[in-house]
Chain A
């Protein structure tokens, strides 16, 4: 069996499952947020009764993150609904807005808080829940009805997916980031290339990445239509998780004779900085092909590109320069926001590097990644042309249907922010970073 099959078999209380089978699994964690939490709660109460209790309060995690810093009265009411439900159900894992517990983007907060654990089954009411597969677990997005069902029963049906394996051979060149890998893959397979399937990432190019790089890969499997993304856990995984939780997890691995839907191999040294052109994540081009394209905005943030390592990368390029277009910096979580002020590059904090470059600094949340209410920080209100570290560039995704969005790595977005045109990061990276693997170091 594959890693995904083994996790689902164990969660179903079975010794074996086959891809294509439908099984009922026990859920380790259910995660929800402010957009889908209130309707999930509504369905739970409608179906199980006003006085019903959740199946296990220690397994429910509620992280408001989407529409936080807005004057929209309906959006703010949604937070009130979450707060009341958490109090009523005595939920220990609620991260309330306006308190010290507030986190920000759920997919980055989940690992920070120790809720992503090898071998587990995680469902969340957000399509990017697949991010947690980086920790060697099964994690996927669901709707409100399924989440309401889990709240009452702790179970859900799931069709066991086949696995597409993507192997990166050799060290990743220093000017390439995980975002370039996943944009390359989605461009190769298309936005429905992995529909109903798991996407597994492997090879020494992947296994040498830290957890945040791995999370960028699994985060965007949904943009290839994938059900879940997964990476076999190793020491890097265990060290990260054990520093954050005492939870007693049991990791699982692919069997040597596991059957895959397909195996695709990439030579890491051949990779190029990539973009996805408007209006689809599979509309791929190398940065070289679109170099010089005029921009009006740059955006660094989200569950995909708003982690501390993403900002370290961007700061490395931006330091000492002024941005040439409106540039928005949105840390995914409050912890990342703190880290911006305590992490140094070349004698300066990342925070100061961005401020001195002229960037707008935001509060931790999903912000303009998905547009949101009209007063959302960084939202594209009209005919902007934006280069962004986020995950989707469908029409209207970041606010206006008239806007155009290019998706790219933090390196590429930072370099492009300086010039106001799509720019190859190799033009701005310190010299040693430009030397490919195997070259002088």
Chain B
């Protein structure tokens, strides 16, 4: 597990469901094939309505239409991030785009579990709603040991919740690595 994650933030609102994270029409690509899997990066968060994509102003795509990688490293969201379908393609697409963490006030259960068990991204929870405190494009830094996120653009810091029960799986890098470490498989 990476202790420090630093880069540009991409900000969205509440209840970002998995159809917005990766619209169902794109779920046909192979997740293994190196050529095809890149499309998950291209279409990651492409279902977010335009005016809510890249807050506060909107109109910013997470990944530029002709690219496979996003310039954003951390996604900032509100409550219930990742609700809806159980598609693991959702956290996978965020990782494939090049982002490493999501910071939201809360998660839908299956998305959170998929992010952790698949070892795709780290789903941090913030105490405060950061959607109004961080703007898309701000440079942020997550310190996974001190459990804080700093907005380097504004100079302000915000506390994150400890990862809790799942920290062992996050640190191992997913459920398979965790199970292997504990002699379960």
In contact, B19 and A397 (Cβ under 8 angstroms): yes
Q: Does A225 contact B (CB under 8 A)?
A: yes
Q: A141-B110, A145-B117 are in contact. Are A225 and B20 (CB under 8 A)?
A: no
Q: A142-B110, A145-B176, A146-B113 are in contact. Are A370 and B88 (CB under 8 A)?
A: no
Q: A78-B28, A371-B23 are in contact. Are A36 and B47 (CB under 8 A)?
A: no
Residues of chain B contacted by A227 (CB below 8 angstroms): 109
Residues of chain A contacted by B184 (CB below 8 angstroms): 153
Other than the given A35-B27, A225-B109, 13 more pairs (CB < 8 A) read A36-B88, A74-B30, A125-B86, A129-B86, A143-B117, A157-B175, A222-B84, A225-B80, A371-B25, A392-B19, A394-B84, A395-B19, A399-B25
Q: Does A216 contact B (CB under 8 A)?
A: no
Assembly CA distance A372 to B28 (angstroms): 9
Q: Does A64 contact B (CB under 8 A)?
A: no
In contact, A394 and B20 (Cβ under 8 angstroms): yes
Q: Does A72 contact B (CB under 8 A)?
A: yes
Q: Which of A335-380 contact B (CB under 8 A)?
A: 370-374
Q: Which of B141-185 contact A (CB under 8 A)?
A: 165, 174-176, 179, 184-185
Assembly CA distance A371 to B46 (angstroms): 14
- 18 A-B residue pairs with CB within 8 Å: A35-B87, A36-B87, A66-B27, A72-B28, A75-B28, A125-B86, A142-B110, A145-B118, A149-B117, A153-B179, A153-B185, A192-B15, A192-B106, A195-B108, A225-B109, A395-B20, A396-B23, A401-B47
As a 0/1 sequence over residues 65 to 104 of chain B, the CB contacts with chain A under 8 angstroms (1 = contact) are: 0000000000000011001111111000000000000000
Residues of chain A contacted by B27 (CB below 8 angstroms): 35, 66
Chain A residues proximal to chain B, CB less than 8 Å: 22, 35-36, 38-39, 42, 46-48, 66-67, 72, 74-75, 77-78, 125-127, 129, 141-146, 149, 152-153, 157, 159, 191-192, 195-196, 222, 225, 227, 280, 370-374, 392, 394-397, 399, 401
Q: A144-B118, A227-B109 are in contact. Are A47 and B20 (CB under 8 A)?
A: no
Q: A371-B25, A394-B17 are in contact. Are A143 and B86 (CB under 8 A)?
A: yes
Residues of chain A contacted by B24 (CB below 8 angstroms): 35, 66, 370-372, 397
In contact, A370 and B85 (Cβ under 8 angstroms): yes
In contact, B185 and A225 (Cβ under 8 angstroms): no
Q: A145-B117, A149-B179, A195-B80 are in contact. Are A396 and B19 (CB under 8 A)?
A: yes
Chain B residues proximal to chain A, CB less than 8 Å: 15, 17, 19-20, 23-25, 27-32, 36, 47-49, 79-80, 83-89, 106, 108-110, 113-114, 117-118, 165, 174-176, 179, 184-185
Q: A195-B108, A401-B47 are in contact. Are A149 and B176 (CB under 8 A)?
A: yes
Residues of chain B contacted by A280 (CB below 8 angstroms): 15
Name the one of B30, B114, B185 contacting A143, with C-beta atoms under 8 angstroms: B114
Closest to B15 in A: A191
In contact, B28 and A42 (Cβ under 8 angstroms): no
Residues of chain A contacted by B89 (CB below 8 angstroms): 39
* Shortest distance from the beta carbon of B137 to any chain A beta carbon, whole Å: 23
Residues of chain B contacted by A77 (CB below 8 angstroms): 28
In contact, B31 and A225 (Cβ under 8 angstroms): no
Assembly CA distance A66 to B86 (angstroms): 14
Closest to B179 in A: A149
Assembly CA distance A286 to B174 (angstroms): 45
Sorted nearest first, the 8 A-B pairs with minimum C-beta distance are A143-B88, A74-B28, A143-B114, A141-B86, A192-B80, A127-B86, A145-B118, A144-B88
Assembly CA distance A77 to B79 (angstroms): 36
Assembly CA distance A418 to B143 (angstroms): 58
Name the one of A72, A126, A146 contacting B175, with C-beta atoms under 8 angstroms: A146
Assembly CA distance A273 to B79 (angstroms): 29
Closest to B81 in A: A192
In contact, B80 and A22 (Cβ under 8 angstroms): no
Assembly CA distance A399 to B113 (angstroms): 27
Assembly CA distance A48 to B176 (angstroms): 10
Residues of chain B contacted by A159 (CB below 8 angstroms): 165
In contact, B28 and A127 (Cβ under 8 angstroms): no
Name the one of A74, A126, A372, A394 contacting B86, with C-beta atoms under 8 angstroms: A126
